[in-house]
Amino acid sequence: MQLYNTLSAKERAALIEEAGQDRLTISFYKYAKIDDPKKFRDHLFVNWNAQDVLGRIYVAQEGINAQLSVPATNFDRFKSFLDTISFLKNVRLNIAIEHDNFAFLKLKVKVRDKIVADGLNDDTFDVTNKGIHVEAEQFNQLIDDPDVILVDMRNHYESEIGHFINAVKPDVDTFRESLDIIEADLREHKEDKKLVMYCTGGIRCEKASAYYKHKGFKNVYQLEGGIINYMRQVEAKGLENKFIGKNFVFDQRRSERISEHVIANCHQCGQPADMHTNCANDACHLLFIQCDACKEKMENCCSTSCQEVIQLPYEEQKAMRRGQGNSNDIFKKGRASHLTYKKDLRNIFDHIKAPK
């Protein structure tokens, strides 16, 4: 029984191009008790591999977190399979605003301790005592309330290119960092303010809302389905869009355009730009914002030193990386002193009008 990928990313990309069929980019999550994550992982892989599903899926005893790509012609089959799993029957599927047939090039279903790395001990509080879920229309009404504190539960590189107007945007690298920072900064408002949170698809807010209620916040709300579902409802119902810029996504697309505003800057020259790239030097691989002009001038590199490295023979580059591993020392996200125009998001509040 095949429980692994037999094709390389390059080979898979060639097959997708040859097939010429549209693929849907989808994400979903569900907190549910899974007694045997390994067995469940294998069950998913066998079925999804047969359906030509590609993506990155995390399975744990607490549930599932999935970002994937499905051939449009296989969507009904994919949905029917989900409905055979009791806790996934009629699960909300966040379908991307912008699709890319090459968003994912492998099927990776991994067993993890948690479906989101939150650093919390779930035994110390009631994870089911979550905040009030609100849809787009009610969310828009809430965030106009002066007694509301709107908090972006995403990381600095996500909120830098797009966010809701007047949101508090913690300058953090990881979700787990943000939890205690937000609690400390807002502790004086646990009873007199409404805490309203949002994230990409809703999963981070799901755990955070229960944590903050445990910490004493009396009025906790979360955007149902996150930014992705918000935009679907804005378009379907003709609502005012209060999100500016782009929504960062964790696949080959890297982002979806939500409004025409470009609110970020190239980290190298400072010109308006909101496209992330990974440094072409694989020993660096820094994720940063780069405009087209700098991309051409720097050959997709974050620095002249990295530009010099990519000119070396491949085997020499490979030797230079030996022993480094794929650690956080390599895969930074816009954190480097040579990125002159990296914006510091701490204590920055935006006062601009939302697009109609």
Instruction: Give the pLDDT band of residue 92 (cuts 50, 70, 90).
Output: very high
Q: Which domain holds residue 95?
A: 9-111
The predicted model gives 140-157 an average pLDDT of 95
**Quick check: is 345 in a domain?**
no
The tens digit of pLDDT for each residue in 112-143 reads 999 998 988 988 999 889 999 999 999 999 99
Interatomic CA distance for residues 223 and 134, integer angstroms: 5
Residue 17: pLDDT above 90? no
The predicted model gives 151-171 an average pLDDT of 94
199, 266, 291, 306: the catalytic one is 199
**Quick check: is 308 in a domain?**
no
Note if 279 is an active site residue: no
**Quick check: is 324 in a domain?**
no
The tens digit of pLDDT for each residue in 299-335 reads 999 999 999 999 999 888 888 777 665 444 444 676 7
The predicted model gives 140-161 an average pLDDT of 95
Counted domains in the chain:
1
**Quick check: is 105 in a domain?**
yes
Please report the pLDDT score of residue 4 as a whole number.
66
**Quick check: is 214 in a domain?**
no
**Quick check: is 60 in a domain?**
yes
| DSSP-derived secondary structure letter, 124 | G
**Quick check: is 242 in a domain?**
no
3-state DSSP assignment of residue 94: strand
**Quick check: is 49 in a domain?**
yes
The tens digit of pLDDT for each residue in 236-273 reads 999 999 999 999 988 788 889 999 999 999 999 999 99
Secondary-structure percent of the chain, ordered helix, strand, coil, rounded to 5: 30, 20, 50
Q: Residue 98 belongs to a domain with what CATH number?
A: 3.30.70.100
